[in-house]
Amino acid sequence: MHSLIDFAGCILVIIGKDKKVTFINKKGCEVLEYRKEEIIGKDWFEDFLPSEVKEKVREVLEKLIKGEAQEVEYFENPVLTKRGEKRYILWHNTPLKDERGRIKGTLSTGIDITDRKKVEEKLKEAQMRAEIIANSTRDAIVITDDDGKVTFWNKAAEKIFGYTENEVIGERIYHLIVPEKYHENVKRGFEEFKKAGKGPIVEKIIEVFSLRKDKKEVPVELSLSSVNMEGKWHAVGIARDIARRKRMEEALKKYQDRLKRLHETVDFLQRCNTEDEVYKTTINEIKKVLGFDFCFLYLMEDESLVLKAASSSSTSEEVKCLLLDRDIAEKTLKEGKSIWTKDVKEFDREATPISFISSPIDKLGVLQVVSPEAGAFTREDIELIEILTNHLTEEIKRIRLERKLRDMAIHDPLTGTYNRYYFNEILSREIKRSKRYKYPIGFLMIDINRFKEVNDRFSHLLGDKVLKEVASLIKRNVRDTDIVVRFGGDEFLVLLLQVERKILNKIKERIKNEIKVWGKKTHLIDFPLTLAIGVSSWYPGEKRKVEEVLKEADFKMYEDKKAG
């Protein structure tokens, strides 16, 4: 059970009532960067939590241990790795009970959300940059009397609205910078303001569109207050040009929207079961999420980059024309960082003027985004592509690990043939298909004669070499669709689909002849190696069970062994 838990994608930690760790899975060790034996028995709070959160987390878990809470969902706190780095974990905590229902500790399952936190910090930094730029803009200061006539106009007002001080002094403000459709409202507002220095927008901050001298509207943030000078009310307006801020807000919103859609793409990638699915999903989503028309995905195969997927948003010829020189992809992979340019002519003066981003997928491959226009990509585009390639790396590694584990589970590690676990799994499926499509299934039960003598005289290491050679020989003499299984120590079973008995006998003789030829050429042993082979067939509709057919093959194999 522990080995299965070790393959879990989340952290699993059991903490006893004494606050010490009694169990942690492989994922937890990877995140904390400790070996399991360095964690078990240690105080979770003192050894693995930053000082600023120890008491808060301790309080939560103590409530669970005391039975004052049933479970704690989505509790977020950092942990400390062996290098002293903080990793942020989203926890689900539940009390752990013994067979009598008594609480003996807590079980915490956690997901590492450090990368997500970093993305959130990037968003906060972007927002902060927008605010700094907006707040550094010089403000226009305008003062009018109670009739709305301008009495003061600073240099910033000249810059924002386009009028010089001489042009506006003594003129009514709403004739200058207020769109005509609002003139009557502003005029009535000043009539009210003249009485008591009050009005609907006095002492408020509002966003309005003001009119420039060139009749263009500009968005401003307006703060209006009143001041009584010499018995008359004057209006003091501070106007900030927020056109840039508005653009940044729109750009930030666009970036956040793209980032949100990018995370949805990551969810799609996490549901993929094969590498081909990951490649196609990546290419399809790049257009939809990031708005890039042309993209190419390369993966390393046999020490060279191979194009695995390309955009299909235009004709193949158009896509082909946008393929970059392979040297750029190789340079990207070698340097391990993104390469981008506003114009590919920086790399090749003879090339068609295009811009591109070439980003590494760890050491696995390269993702390239290309535009037929120069200067098409921004720094933000690079950040989004790099976020995508980071997730792409993790998903490719996940699928490869799952495939490796699957292969390990169904193959014999010595000979590379399938094991009995896989044979049992596939046999029932093939029987059903045989019944449906009315074709026979053949079996070859194969045993290596005098194999014990090989082990006893020449060592088990040489015996292993003989097993591998025999397995390779059998596989070469059957079809790729046939299933070769290591059935026992020196026994192999071959499951052949849609093969009649007379063909089975021919295959049997071919394998026996091949082993004779191999025996004459090999120097591994000093006596001729032979095989005992039993043949049997199962036909849809017959009353015998498959187990009986296998016994028949086994029986015939032993008869063949006795016959020499």
**Chain segment 187-239, per-residue pLDDT in tens:** 888 888 888 878 888 888 888 888 899 989 888 888 888 888 878 888 888 88
pLDDT at 414: 93
- Mean pLDDT, rounded, of the chain: 85
Tokens read off for 349: 């003066």
- What domains sit in the chain, N to C, each tagged with a CATH number? 2-112 (3.30.450.20), 140-241 (3.30.450.20), 251-407 (3.30.450.40), 420-563 (3.30.70.270)
The counts of H helices and E strands in the chain are 20, 19
pLDDT at 440: 92
CA distance 285 to 269: 10
Contact residues for 555 (Cβ-Cβ < 8 A; gap 6+) = 534
pLDDT at 317: 60
Arithmetic mean of pLDDT, 287-303: 84
The pLDDT of residue 63 is above 70? yes
Contact residues for 548 (Cβ-Cβ < 8 A; gap 6+) = none
Arithmetic mean of pLDDT, 396-412: 89
- Please give the radius of gyration of the chain, using alpha carbons only, rounded to the nearest integer: 38
pLDDT at 562: 86
Arithmetic mean of pLDDT, 151-174: 89
Tokens read off for 428: 């029932």
Residue whose structure tokens are 């549901």: 271
pLDDT at 121: 84
The pLDDT of residue 415 is above 60? yes
Arithmetic mean of pLDDT, 333-346: 74
DSSP character for 325?
A: P
Per-residue pLDDT tens for 476-492?
999 999 999 999 899 99
Using pLDDT thresholds of 50, 70 and 90, give the confidence band for residue 134.
very low
pLDDT at 204: 85
DSSP bridge partners of 309: 297
Arithmetic mean of pLDDT, 283-303: 84
pLDDT at 443: 95
DSSP character for 182?
A: G
309 within 8 A of 296, measured Cβ to Cβ: yes
The pLDDT of residue 305 is above 70? yes
Per-residue pLDDT tens for 76-116?
899 999 999 999 988 888 888 888 888 888 888 888 888 88
CA distance 450 to 466: 12
Using pLDDT thresholds of 50, 70 and 90, give the confidence band for residue 526.
confident
- Which of the residue ranges 51-65, 121-135, 185-199 would you say has the lowest mean pLDDT? 121-135
CA distance 560 to 447: 10
The pLDDT of residue 8 is above 80? no
Using pLDDT thresholds of 50, 70 and 90, give the confidence band for residue 322.
low
pLDDT at 554: 93
Using pLDDT thresholds of 50, 70 and 90, give the confidence band for residue 521.
confident
Using pLDDT thresholds of 50, 70 and 90, give the confidence band for residue 133.
very low
pLDDT at 7: 64
* pTM beyond cutoff 0.95: no
Q: What are phi and psi of 231, to 5 degrees?
A: 80, 5
Quote the percentage of the chain above a pLDDT of 70. Answer: 92
Beta strands in 198-348 (DSSP E): 204-211, 217-229, 232-241, 294-301, 304-310, 339-341
CA distance 356 to 344: 7
pLDDT at 325: 74
CA angle 115, 120, 123 (to 5 degrees): 130
pLDDT at 135: 37
What single-letter amino acid sits at 490?
Answer: D
The pLDDT of residue 130 is above 50? no
Contact residues for 244 (Cβ-Cβ < 8 A; gap 6+) = 133, 134, 137
Q: Which of 428, 434, 430, 429 is nearest to 539 (CA)?
A: 434
pLDDT at 251: 77
CA distance 522 to 534: 25
Looking only at the bridges linking them, the beta strands covering 217-229 and 72-80 are unpaired
